[in-house]
Structure 1
Amino acid sequence: MIEAHSLTKRYGERTAVDDLSFVVPPGIVTGFLGPNGAGKSTTMRMLLGLDAPTSGRAVVNGNSYAAHRAPLHEVGAMLEARSVHTGRSAYHHLLALAATTGISKRRVNEVIDLVGLRAVAKKRVGGFSLGMGQRLGIAGALLGDPATVILDEPVNGLDPEGILWIRNLLKKLAAEGRTVLVSSHLMSEMALTAEHLIVIGRGRLIADTSVADFIARAAGDVVRVRTDETEQLHGLLTGPDMSVTSPEPGVLQVTGLSSERIGRIAAEHGIALAELTPQQASLEEAFMELTRHAVEYQPPVDQLVGASGDGLAA
């Protein structure tokens, strides 16, 4: 289990992490999300004892990282996959890590096979592709068979087969009862991998919830209604905090009323409905909606859109 208690990190006058508290439970994959500059990397560094908090406390499996006698067996982490000696082979890189805490050569070979690097295990890391470097970083994180795994952007550089592999690996690790915290900018992948989300912006907690609840919180009640009697139905759909728009002929988009309530109103007035569909936002849409006030930098629209309004500016 990972616990952050009022974590704060300041660099001079700049606050990178601001009174951040959360718990990452074992047994599920937890996604750690936030815009660029949100404080994710700083938070993970504090969890691993690489940065000292200005105030607050980070605990992994009951102790601070530095207090564990064999930290590689407690916490496996990958924050920067390419932080390796480029002149070493993958095998000797992992062997050197293993030697620091008495991990056997057998385990080194096991993780090489686990991440699919057997064919290049004796090649120098400096010649590795980005995807191969990611696999090596993950192998290092799993070397001590840890109870807790922390990975920063693990699917960067992986092809579709590799992305599927890491998705299944993370779910397998969680199913074994481990604590799994994964940071990523790929919302579509997080939607398929994570069950729980911790979302931060400008160093502060925005959400600590399930994926489903996070999406529902952003989307609200939006229902697509298709009928030949849109004008009549539109006039019947009234109430506080609701709106009705018509994105296309014969279709209403209703916000603030449930599909059940809309259906009852239509039935009471004899209005036939061809479609009554609750709309669900994607994780990406929910993320953009709930973090739009927490982005570090947002360029003016005229820098993004050309004069015609339908393309990128040259």
Structure 2
Amino acid sequence: MIEAVGLTKRYGPKTAVQDLSFSVRPGIVTGFLGPNGAGKSTTMRMLLGLDNPSAGHATINGRRYAEHPAPLREVGAMLEARAIHTGRSAFNHLLALAATHGIPRSRVDEVIDLVGLRQVAKKRAGGFSLGMGQRLGIASALLGDPATLILDEPVNGLDPEGILWIRNLLKSLAAEGRTVLVSSHLMSEMALTAEHLIVIGRGQLIADTSVADFTERASRGGVLVRSRDSVRLAEVLGELPGVSVTEDPETQVLLVDGVDSERIGELADQHRLVLSELTPQKASLEEAFMEMTKDAVEYDAVVAPRTLVEEHAA
């Protein structure tokens, strides 16, 4: 269990994190999200005792990180995968970490095999690719077989096979009852990996909720309907009280609000109108994230508006 209570961090006149409180429960993967400059890295550094909070406190399994007699056995962390001695081999890097915590050499071999670095274990880590460096960083976090994992951008630089591997690994570790906190900018991957989300912006909490509830809150609702009889279908649906229809005659696409997809299908059948698509509209995690953090973006760019069809295709 990770608990942050009133965490605040100031750097001179700038407040990076302000009165931030949340809990990360064991047994599920929790995603830690926020725009650039939101305070995620600062928060994770405070969780691990690398930065002292200006106010508030954080505990991991009931203690501050520095109070754990063997932190590596309690908390596995990866904030910067390339924070390694570039002249050491992957094996010797892990062996040096193991020696400081009384971890047996056999565990070093286990994590090397677990992350898929056996063939390069004796090579200098300074020559590793970005993806290999990520795997070594993950191996370091797993070395002490910890009950808690805190990982910053663990899929950065991994190929598709590696991304699938880390996704399944994190889920399996959580299923064992471990606490798993993962920061990432890849919304599509978080949607497949995390069950719960902590979202911050400008150093403050925006959401602490399940992935399903987060996307539901941002969903615009409605049903996207495609039919070669779109004009007639729009007329039929427009006769229903409280129903609005946005029509694009050129593409034969309708966006219908105020009635569910089942009722639309029934009406189409009654009037012998052929449907080629009937899709309830629900925001993706990326869309929900953009909507919920739009007022907390530090560096904003102008994006051209998209048509109804372009939005659906995206």
Q: TM-score when scaled to structure 2?
A: 0.88
Alpha-carbon spacing, 1:271–1:16, altered in 2? closer, same or farther (3 Å): farther
| Deviation at residue 260 of structure 1 after TM alignment | 5.2
Alpha-carbon spacing, 1:38–1:102, altered in 2? closer, same or farther (3 Å): same
CA distance in 2, matches of 1:247, 1:183: 40
Is the CA contact 1:131–1:156 (under 8 Å) kept in the aligned structure 2?
A: yes
Find the counterpart in structure 1 of residue 311 from structure 2: none
Find the counterpart in structure 1 of residue 130 from structure 2: 130
CA distance in 1, matches of 2:83, 2:226: 55
Q: What whole-Å deviation, never above 9, does each CA across 1:152-177 have from its counterpart, x for those lacking one?
A: 00111111111111111111111111
Alpha-carbon spacing, 1:53–1:236, altered in 2? closer, same or farther (3 Å): farther
Q: What whole-Å deviation, never above 9, does each CA across 1:90-148 have from its counterpart, x for those lacking one?
A: 11111111111111111111111111111111111111111111001001000110000
Find the counterpart in structure 1 of residue 54 from structure 2: 54
CA distance in 2, matches of 1:105, 1:248: 68
Is the CA contact 1:220–1:255 (under 8 Å) kept in the aligned structure 2?
A: no
Instruction: Report the secondary structure of 1:214's partner residue.
Output: helix
Is the CA contact 1:221–1:257 (under 8 Å) kept in the aligned structure 2?
A: no
Structure 1 unpaired stretches of 5+:
306-314
CA distance in 2, matches of 1:107, 1:115: 12
Find the counterpart in structure 2 of residue 247 from structure 1: 248
Find the counterpart in structure 2 of residue 288 from structure 1: 290
Alpha-carbon spacing, 1:256–1:72, altered in 2? closer, same or farther (3 Å): farther
Find the counterpart in structure 1 of residue 300 from structure 2: 298
Alpha-carbon spacing, 1:255–1:34, altered in 2? closer, same or farther (3 Å): farther
Find the counterpart in structure 2 of residue 31 from structure 1: 31
CA distance in 2, matches of 1:205, 1:271: 50
Q: How many residues align?
A: 300
Q: TM-score when scaled to structure 1?
A: 0.88
Instruction: Report the secondary structure of 2:27's partner residue.
Output: coil
Find the counterpart in structure 2 of residue 120 from structure 1: 120
> Percent of aligned positions with the same letter in both sequences?
75
Greater displacement, 280-289 / 140-149: 280-289
| Deviation at residue 234 of structure 1 after TM alignment | 5.0
Instruction: Report the secondary structure of 1:292's partner residue.
Output: coil
Find the counterpart in structure 2 of residue 310 from structure 1: none
Find the counterpart in structure 1 of residue 202 from structure 2: 202
Find the counterpart in structure 1 of residue 184 from structure 2: 184
Is the CA contact 2:30–2:196 (under 8 Å) kept in the aligned structure 1?
A: yes
Alpha-carbon spacing, 1:237–1:80, altered in 2? closer, same or farther (3 Å): farther
Find the counterpart in structure 2 of residue 71 from structure 1: 71
Query: Which amino acid in 1 is paired with 2:187?
Result: M
Find the counterpart in structure 1 of residue 312 from structure 2: none
Is the CA contact 1:225–1:273 (under 8 Å) kept in the aligned structure 2?
A: no
| RMSD over equivalenced CA pairs, Å | 2.3
| Deviation at residue 257 of structure 1 after TM alignment | 4.7
| Deviation at residue 248 of structure 1 after TM alignment | 4.2
Instruction: Report the secondary structure of 1:41's partner residue.
Output: helix
Q: Which runs of 4+ in 1 moved over 6 A?
A: none
Is the CA contact 1:6–1:57 (under 8 Å) kept in the aligned structure 2?
A: yes
Alpha-carbon spacing, 1:233–1:201, altered in 2? closer, same or farther (3 Å): farther
| Deviation at residue 197 of structure 1 after TM alignment | 1.0
Alpha-carbon spacing, 1:58–1:127, altered in 2? closer, same or farther (3 Å): same
